[in-house]
Amino acid sequence: MSIDTSKVADTNGTSSSSAAKPTKAGVVANWADERLGLATAMKKNLRKVFPDHWSFMLGEVALWSFVVLLLTGVFLTLWFDPSMAEGEYTGSYDPMRGVEMSQSMKSTLEISFDVRGGLLMRQMHHWAAMIFIASMMVHMMRVYFTGAYRKPREINWVIGCLLLFLGTIEGFTGYSLPDDLLSGTGVRAADGFMKATPVVGSYMSFFLFGGEFPGDSIIPRLYVMHVLLIPGILLGLVAAHMLLLVYHKHTQWPGPGKTEANVVGFPMLPVYAAKAGGFFFIVFGTIALMGGLMTINPIWKYGPYDPTKVTAGSQPDWYMGWPDGLLRIIPGWETELPGGYLISWNVMIPILILPPLMLTVLLLLPFIEAWITGDKREHHLLERPRNRPTQTALMVALMTFYGLSWAAGGNDIIAIKLDLSINQITYFMRAAVFIGPVIAFIIARRWCISLQRHDEGKLLHGYETGVIMRAPDGGYSEKHLPISEAEAYTLTARDRETPWSPEREIDENGVPAPNSRLNSLRAKLSTLMYADNVQKPTAEELDEARHHAEHELALQTAMDGVSADGHQFDGTHPVEGESLRGGH
Residues of span 269-328 touching other proteins by CB under 8 A? 270-271, 274-275, 277-293, 295, 306-314, 324, 327-328
Site for other proteins in 462-481 (CB under 8 A): none
Site for other proteins in 123-182 (CB under 8 A): 123-124, 152
Q: How far is the CB of 491 from other proteins (least distance, A)?
A: 9
* Residue nearer to other proteins on the CB measure, 116 or 581: 116
Asked whether 110 and 299 are in contact (CB, 8 A), the reply is no
The pattern of x and - marking residues 83 through 102 that bind other proteins according to CB under 8 A reads: -xxx-----xx---------
DSSP bridge partners of 476: 470
Closest contact distance (angstroms) between CB of 41 and other proteins is 16
Asked if 119 touches other proteins (CB under 8 A), the answer is: yes
119 Ramachandran zone, left/alpha/beta (phi>0; psi -120 to 50): alpha
Judged by CB, which is closer to other proteins: 416, or 438? 416
The nearer residue to other proteins, 174 or 201, going by C-beta atoms, is: 201
Q: What is the amino acid identity at position 196? A: A
Query: Least distance in Å: CB of 264 to other proteins?
Result: 5
Min dist CB 213 to other proteins, Å, is 6
- Does 114 participate in binding other proteins (rule CB under 8 A)? yes
CA distances from 78 to 75, 81, 121, 440, 491 (A): 6, 9, 12, 48, 56
Three-state secondary-structure class, residue 288: helix
| Nearest distance, CB of residue 343 and other proteins, angstroms | 8
| Binding track over 339-378 against other proteins, x by CB under 8 A | xxxxxx-xx------------------------------x
Helix, strand or coil, per DSSP, at residue 558: coil
Q: How far is CA 207 from CA 137, 201, 212, 215, 341, in A?
A: 33, 10, 9, 11, 20
DSSP state string for 186-237: HHHHHHHHHHTSTTTHHHHHHHHHTSSSSTTTHHHHHHHIIIIIHHHHHHHH
Question: Least distance (Å) from other proteins to the CB of residue 355?
Answer: 15
Task: Report how far Cα 369 is from the mean position of its chain's Cα atoms.
Answer: 19
Is 49 exposed, middle or buried, given 0-12, 13-18 or 19+ CB atoms closer than 10 A? middle
CA distance 171 to 133: 9
Q: Quick one: 26 or 277, whose CB is closer to other proteins?
A: 277
Applying the rule CB under 8 A, the residues between 230 and 259 that interact with other proteins are: 247-249, 256-259
Residue whose CB is less far from other proteins, 256 or 466: 256
* Of positions 57, 62, 329, 429, contacts other proteins by CB under 8 A: 329
Query: Residues 29, 115, 138, 141: which binds other proteins (CB under 8 A)?
Result: 115
- Phi, psi angle pair for 422, to nearest 5°: -65, -35
Site for other proteins in 536-575 (CB under 8 A): 536-539, 541-542
Closer of 280 and 447 to other proteins (Cβ): 280
Query: Of 177, 254, 248, whose CA–CA distance to 218 is shortest?
Result: 177
Residue from the set 130, 141, 240, 264 that interacts with other proteins by CB under 8 A: 264
Question: Is 336 near other proteins (CB under 8 A)?
Answer: yes
Question: Does residue 193 touch other proteins according to CB under 8 A?
Answer: yes
C-alpha atoms less than 13 angstroms from C-alpha of 153 in its C-beta half-sphere: 25
* Closest separation in Å from C-beta 113 to other proteins: 6
Contact 308, 179 (CB under 8 A): no
80 binds other proteins, rule: CB under 8 A: no
Angle of helix 58-77 relative to helix 273-293, nearest 10 degrees?
50
Which 491-530 residues touch other proteins, going by CB under 8 A?
Answer: 492-493, 496
| Count of residues that bind other proteins according to CB under 8 A | 131
Interface residue with other proteins among 262, 360, 477, 579 (CB under 8 A) is 262
Min CB(240)–other proteins separation in Å: 15
Helix (H, G, I), strand (E, B) or coil at 22: coil
Q: At closest approach, how far in Å is the CB of 345 from other proteins?
A: 8
- Contacts of other proteins in 424-443 (CB under 8 A): 426
Under the binding rule (CB under 8 A), the answer on residue 33 touching other proteins is no
How many Cα atoms sit within 13 Å of 309 on the Cβ side?
11
Q: How far apart are CA 584 and CA 580, in angstroms?
A: 9
3-state SS string for 47-115: HCEECCCHHHHHHHHHHHHHHHHHHHHHHHHCCCCCCCCEEECCCCCHHHCCCEEEHHHHHHHHHHHCC
* Contact criterion met (CB below 8 Å) for 174 and 302: no
* Binding-site string for other proteins from residue 383 to residue 422, where x marks contact by CB under 8 A and - marks none: ----------------------------xx---------x
Q: How many angstroms separate the first and last alpha carbons of the chain?
A: 71
| 208 makes contact with other proteins (CB under 8 A) | yes
494 residue type, one letter: R
Local structure of residue 348 (DSSP, 8 states): I
Given candidates 22, 232, 236, 267, which one binds other proteins under the rule CB under 8 A? 267
